[in-house]
Amino acid sequence: MTIELSKTARKKLPLKERYARLTRDLDWEPSYVAREELFPYTRYEGIKIHDWNGWQDPFRLTVDAYYKYQAEKDKRLYAVLDSFAQGQGHLTLSDASYLNAVKLFIQGVTPLEYAAHRHFAFLARHLEGPAPRFAALCQSIDELRHCQTQIHTISNYNKYYDGFHSWSKMYDRVWYLSVPKSLLDDAMSAGPFEFLISISFSFEYLLTNLLFVPFMSGASFNGDLPTMSFGFSAQSDESRDMTLGLEAIKFLLEQDDDTVPIIQDWIDKWFWRAYRMSGLVAGMMDYMLPKPVMAWNEAFELYFEDQMLGGLFPDLKYYGIKPPRHVDDAIAEKDKLSHDIYRILHNFSFAAALTTQTPSETHMAWLSEQYPQTFDRYYRPVWEKHRRIEASGGRVFFQGLPQLCQVCQVPMAFSEASDPTQICLRRSEFRSETFHTCSDGCKWIFDREPEKYVQAWLPVHQIHQGNCGGRSIPEVLAWYGIQDGDNGEYKGSPDQQAWASWHADETGPVK
Amino acid sequence: MTVKALYDYDFPSADRAEVFGDDQLVYVLWDGNPLLCSAACFRVPKHMPFGEFLSTVVHPWAASDPDFDPAAVHNWRLFDEAIDPEADRSLAELGVGHKALLLFSTH
């Protein structure tokens, strides 16, 4: 009898029904408390949802299937990590300076994955429909997996190179990492629908190809097999997460006409927030890769102008959604962004957990080919001055702290669209206090919710308040967890010297 | 527009003047010098005379550029207004308040 029963139970249901049983069928109508009490966060943002069941499940994934797929992906990734470590892969990179890109990744991107994991877990509890709750649950686990696999992938380099040791502490403390951290904090402290538009749509859908893919293709071109394999392993998750973003926005727009202006506002805000952060990626792409893949301006044209403005936004027009408010400013600065950003890192790498260097002649020749409109005219003269100073034994570092943008927290180093020699300075007054922003986009975001951004934890102001271990640079670096050799100039750094000694006995030119 | 929230949303500014006591934050931009990527942010006493501000704060910072020549500094501006600061007057007397932006040129 028992055997009979278990045989019946093991009989497989058709996939669609099985999915329904394991997801939506597990939902119930609350009877002890009101719906509003069970889901307190889904009304105050002004979004009206009339039918939570209108959410289409793009993947029809169940928990058991999800874990099976992910386990297989992990198995393949960890095989690559083992063989890279056993084959002394850290010696076969294009150059040790390449790892500055990976340092930026583990310090600035990996903690974002963890923060996203936390907040998608929150959405998996608090969205009202079972389908979006389940999609948020899967994405929460995706993000945790990305965080873990990134740590495992990159930890091998920590055995041989500087700057990889204290990234999670640094994410909470170091000035340039406050750029990604404050963005995620901004999203997590918003309501659940704004979070969906900020992270699932603007971040995962609109800009993922600009924020994430450049690191992976950089890895592929520069001999970093583990990071490249991690990228492949995450890619199928990313496409599922992108679909969630698109599904979320279409679902919200279809529910009620009153929703359209709210969503438009969030797209306007979050495009600019994510785009400003992507400046760090632009600097990485054009300046940190010994073997560059593609220049920022070209990637921007392909992944953003062609795919998003040319492909996605014409579709969204049907719902009454326009391209992001400050998109023309982003287009106008595509030939300047990476140079403006790398100049910041170059000025301040004494206080960073990565090193920087003045581009070589060959590198500058590549940059002037990629940026015929701007490089030779505006940026080459600056780098040549650095080279002259360095030839006589100097190295320019900024002997002080920079003015930061109140919103994006990047030093105020961006130039006016009309004149690359003029720094873009914007300001607002709120409760008799002045607040400085780096662009019309950041000023618009500040003026929209000044009560939120006046609370910003600006690293420079915090140092001046004495909240960062002290007010001298050595005290601050100690508090950041930055050790000698993590920071400063690449040439002559411990990484560069170790690399040279590891390759000194090779025949042929020393790398 | 204000922040949408489920509660009364009212928090103080993180960098309000009172946090800095007798000091204040002042930004200084060396306009037209791309070697230094942005303006600098200093914490200085409100009553520091401008001359002392120059010699102990601005000049050491501007010397990050080895070509810096203090004698070439001119065309001071407070935000968008041209000013002609006298060395013995304090920042406060010159109207340089908390989080004010000063700009200068060298050519």
Q: How near does any CA of chain A get to the CA of B58, in Å?
A: 10
Alpha-carbon distance A427 to A425, whole Å?
7
The partner residue sitting opposite B25, judged by closest CB among A344, A389, A464, is A464
Residue A154 near residue A215 (C-beta atoms within 8 A): no
Place of tokens 């919200």: A252
DSSP single-letter state for residue B91: T
| Residues B34, A378: C-beta atoms closer than 8 Å | yes
Residue spans per domain, chain B: 22-105
CA A394-A400-A404 angle, to 5 degrees, is 125
Distance from CA of A133 to the nearest CA of B (A): 22
Contact yes or no for A413/A344 (Cβ under 8 A):
yes
CB contact under 8 A, B39 and A434: no
Name residue A212's amino acid. F
Identify all chain A residues contacting B41, using CB atoms and an 8 Å cutoff. Answer: 400-404, 460-461, 464
Residue A40 gets which letter from DSSP? T
| Structural domain for A284, as ranges | 63-357+399-501
DSSP string, A264-287: HHHHHHHHHHHHHHHHHHHHIIII
- Give a yes or no: residue A237 inside a domain: yes
CB-closest option in B5, B25, B37 to A461: B25
Which residue in this structure is represented by tokens 């050790």?
A483
Closest CA to A435 of A413, A451, A416: A451
Q: Are A330 and A316 in contact (CB under 8 A)?
A: no
The chain B residues in contact with chain A (CB within 8 A) are: 1-6, 9-17, 19-20, 25, 27, 29, 31-32, 34-43, 60-61, 63-66, 79, 97-101
Residue A370 lies in a domain: no
- The count of structural domains within chain A is 1
User: Which residue do the tokens 């004010």 mark?
Assistant: B100
ipTM of the complex: 0.98
Judging contacts by C-beta atoms under 8 Å, the chain A residues touching residue B6 are 40-41, 44
Sign, CA torsion A21/A22/A24/A28: positive
Residue A202, Cβ density class (10 Å: 0-12 exposed, 13-18 middle, ≥19 buried): buried
Q: Judge whether A457 lies within some domain.
A: yes
Please give the mean pLDDT across all residues of chain A.
93
Is residue A31 one of the residues assigned to a domain?
no
Both structure tokens of A156:
């091998």
Q: For residue range B43-81, what is the model confidence (pLDDT) as tens digits?
A: 999 999 999 999 999 999 999 999 999 999 999 999 999
User: CB of B32 within 8 A of CB of B105?
Assistant: yes
Report CB contact under 8 Å: A396, B99: no
CATH number 3.10.20.560 given to B22-105: yes
DSSP B72: G
Answer yes or no: are the C-beta atoms of A405 and B47 closer than 8 Å: no
Strand partners, A434: A429
The token duo for A91 is 């010696």
The CB density around residue A413, as the number of other CB atoms within 10 Å, is 24
Q: Which three-class secondary structure string do you get for A434-475?
A: EEEECCHHHHHHHHHCHHHHCCCCCHHHHHHCCCCCCCCHHH
A2 within some domain: no
What lies within 8 Å, CB to CB, of B80 at 6+ separation is none
Whole-Å CA distances, A274 to A73, A248, A397: 28, 18, 28
What pLDDT is attached to residue A511? Answer: 47
d(CA B32, CA A423): 8
Q: Is residue A381 part of a domain?
A: no
Residue A486 in any domain: the answer is: yes
**Residue ranges in A284-326 assigned as alpha helix (H):** 296-299, 313-316
Q: Is residue A191 part of a domain?
A: yes
pLDDT tens for chain A, 511 residues long, are 445 555 555 677 887 788 778 777 888 899 999 999 999 999 999 999 999 888 877 667 788 888 999 999 999 999 999 999 999 999 999 999 999 999 999 999 999 999 999 999 999 999 998 888 988 998 999 999 999 999 999 999 999 999 999 999 999 999 999 999 999 999 999 999 999 999 988 888 888 888 888 889 999 999 999 999 998 888 878 878 888 888 889 999 999 999 999 999 999 999 999 999 999 999 999 999 999 999 999 999 999 999 999 999 999 999 999 999 999 999 999 999 999 999 999 999 999 999 999 999 999 999 999 999 999 999 999 999 999 999 999 999 999 999 999 999 999 999 998 899 999 999 999 999 999 999 999 999 999 999 999 999 999 999 999 999 998 999 999 999 999 999 999 999 999 999 999 999 765 554 4
